[in-house]
Chains A and B, each alone.
Chain A
Amino acid sequence: MSKAKGLRTWPHLAARRRRPSEYEIVSTNLHFRTMFEEYSELSPSIPMNRWYRKYVRESPLQHDDWDAFRDPDEVTYRTYTVMQDGQETYVDGLLDEHDELGHDRSLPDDWAATLARLYTPARFMLHAVQMASAYVVITAPSSTVTCCAAYQMSDALRWVARVAYRTSELADHHPGLGFGKNERSIWEQDPAWQGFRELSERALVAYDWGEAVVALNVVVKPAIDEAFLRQLPAAGRRHGDLLLGLLTDAQLRDSERSRRWTKAFVEFARQRAGNEEVLARWVEKWAPLGDRAIEAFTAALPESPEAGATAVRDARAFRSGLGFVS
C-alpha cells in the first residue's frame, strides 16, 4: 500500500478548520441509538423501542443536531479521574486531620443529633441523584450529554460514599443517636425530609429525557446545593462543626461543574424554536417542588430562621441566571 495523505481527524470534526481537542476526539458523535428509524434493530413493538420512541424521539424537546452539544469543561474520563483523584486525596486529608483533632468527639450532643437527623439520611437523596443522572446517561441523544451525565452520576456516588463514611465515624463518637441505623426511617418519615423525598421520587419517574435533565439539573440539584450543601453547614459552623462545611464545599465543586454544563445545555436547547417554551414549562412545574423541599428541610435547621428564604432565593437566582423566570 502506498502511503497516502492522512486525515486530520474524524470526518465530522474535519469541516471546522481547527485542531480538535482530545475531548472532541473521544466524546463526540458516538451514539448509534440515535441514527436509525428505531432505537434498535429489534422489532418496533418491543418495550425498549417503544420507551425510546415515547421518551426520547417524541420528546417535546427537539434539536436538529444534539451531537453538537459540548461540555464547557471538556471533561474526559482521563481528566475526570485525574481531577477526582486529587479531590479525594484532599478529602481524605480533611477526614484524617479532623479525626486527629478529635473533631467528632467535641461536637455538642445537640449538633450531633442534628447531623443524625439532617445529614446522614442524605445518602438516600444523593443516591436518587445518582440514579436520576444514570437515566440521562441512557437516554440522552448525544454522546456529549451522556458523558456529562456519567461524570455527574459518579460525583453523586462519590458523595453517597462520603456520607456513609461520616455516618460510621459519627456512630463511633456519638453512639445512641441512631447513626447507621435510623437513616432510612428518617428519610421515609421525618417531615424535614419529605420535600426532598417527594422531589426525588417524582424526578426519578420524569421519564421524558428532556424533562429529566431539567428537573434534575435545574431544580433538584440546585435545591440540594442551597439547602444541604450551604445552609446546613452554615448552621454547623455555629455549632462547632467545621468539618461539615469543608466537605460540602468540596461537594459544591462538583455541583458547580454540573451547573456549568446545565447552563450550556439550556443555551444549546434554546437554539431551536419552540424549546424555550418547553423548558420554561418544565421549570415552572418543578420549581415549586424544589422550593417546598428546601423549606421543609431548612425549617428543621437549628437557629436558622433565614435559611429557607436564602436558599430559595439562591436556587431561584441560579434559574434566573439560566434565563428562567420561575
Chain B
Amino acid sequence: MSPIIYAFQVFLASIMLEAWLMRRRGLPGYDIPDALTSLHAGALSQVAGVMVRLLGFGVYALVYKKFALEAWPTDNPALWVLALLIYDHFYYWSHRLGHEVGLFWASHVIHHSSEHFNLSTALRQSSTGGIVPTLLSMPLAILGVPPMMFAIIALIDLLYQYWVHTELVGRLGWAEKIFVTPSNHRVHHGQNDYCIDKNYGGVFIIWDRIYGTYEDERADEKVVYGVRKPVASFNPLWINLHHFADLAGQMRRTPGWRQKIQVLLAPPGGWQHEAVQPFEPAAFTRFDRQTPADVKRYAMVHYVALVLLLAHFLMVQAGLSVEMRLLYAGVILGSAVTVGGLLDGARWAQGLEAARLIATITAILVWPVWFTLATPMAVRVLLVIGLGWSLAWALRADPARAALPAE
C-alpha cells in the first residue's frame, strides 16, 4: 500500500492541530478556501503521480539495471546517509531549475501560489512535475543506489519538507546553518525582494550556502507569501495549468521557432533578467473571494469524501485497467474542480456540481461494485442520501451570491 495513504492521515491531523494552535494564539494562519485548494492540489498530484511519476521511477530502475557501477548494500546506515546527501544535492538543483527555467516554473509555480504559509501549503504540489527530479537523480542510479533505496530516500526527503511549512516555529539556532527549517523556508516562499530565488534546499540548507542562494529570515521585514503574478483562483486544475497557458501565449506572440524554444528554457524573467517592480510589503493585500460560510462547509464535507476516494484509488489502482484508472482519476478530478469552482463563486460550477452528483448517485445505484469495492446496500443508501442532500443544496444555493466572481 502506498505510504502516502498513511502519511495523509498524519498530514490532516497535523493541519487541524496547527489550525487550532494558530487560532488559539490569535494568528491569521488558515483561510479555508485557500487550504482546501492546497489539499485538492495535493490529492490531484497523488493521482497524477500514479500516471506520471512512475515513468520517472521506471527510467531510474532501468538505468540502474543496465548501467550501475555496483549495487550499494542496503544494510549500512552510513550509506543511507550518504545516498540522502547526494539525493538532496540533486534535489537542490532540480528545485532551483524549477524556479529558474520557464517550462519547469510553469509546473512548480502552483506550490508557491498560496498567499498563506501553513502545513496545507506543503501539500499544494504540482500534478505536472515529478520527472525532472528523477532525471537529475540518474547519477545515483549510475553510482549503484538500488531503486528501492532511492524511492525510500526520495520519500524521506519529501516528507521532511512537510513540517517546515509553518509559521508556528521560530528560528532554530545552529540547525539553521545545516538544515532546511521553517524560518529559512519561509524566505523561500516569500515574494519580498530579498526572498526571490533563495533557499532551494530540501533537507539540507548547506547547498544554498555553497552555491550562494542562502538568505536569512529578516526580523525587520515580515515575509509576504505568494507570487508576484497571483493566480487568484481556487480551481485546482487552473492553478496547475495557468502558467502553461501564459507560456503558450508568450510562445504565440514570439516570432521564430528558436525564440519560442527560448521562452521555455529562459528564466521566468527572461535571459536578461528583466527588472521586476520593487515589492512593497505594506501595500500587499491577500486574495479573498469572500466565500460564503455554507459554501466553505460544503467544500470541507466534500473534501473528506475526496480523501476517502483518493485513499481507495491509491489502494486499488494497480489492479485496475488503464481505462478504469483514468475513469477513477476523472471522478476525483471532477470533484476537486467543481468544488474549487464553488469556492471561486464561478457560475459554471453550480451546474457542473449538480451534474457530478447526479452521475455519482446513478453510478452508486446501478453499480454495486465501486471500482472493485463491493458496497453493502446500507452504505449505498447512506451515500445516496448524503449525495441527494448535497444535490439539493447545490441546486438551491447560489455560490456566487456573496463571493467575488471568478474572472
A and B: interacting chains: no
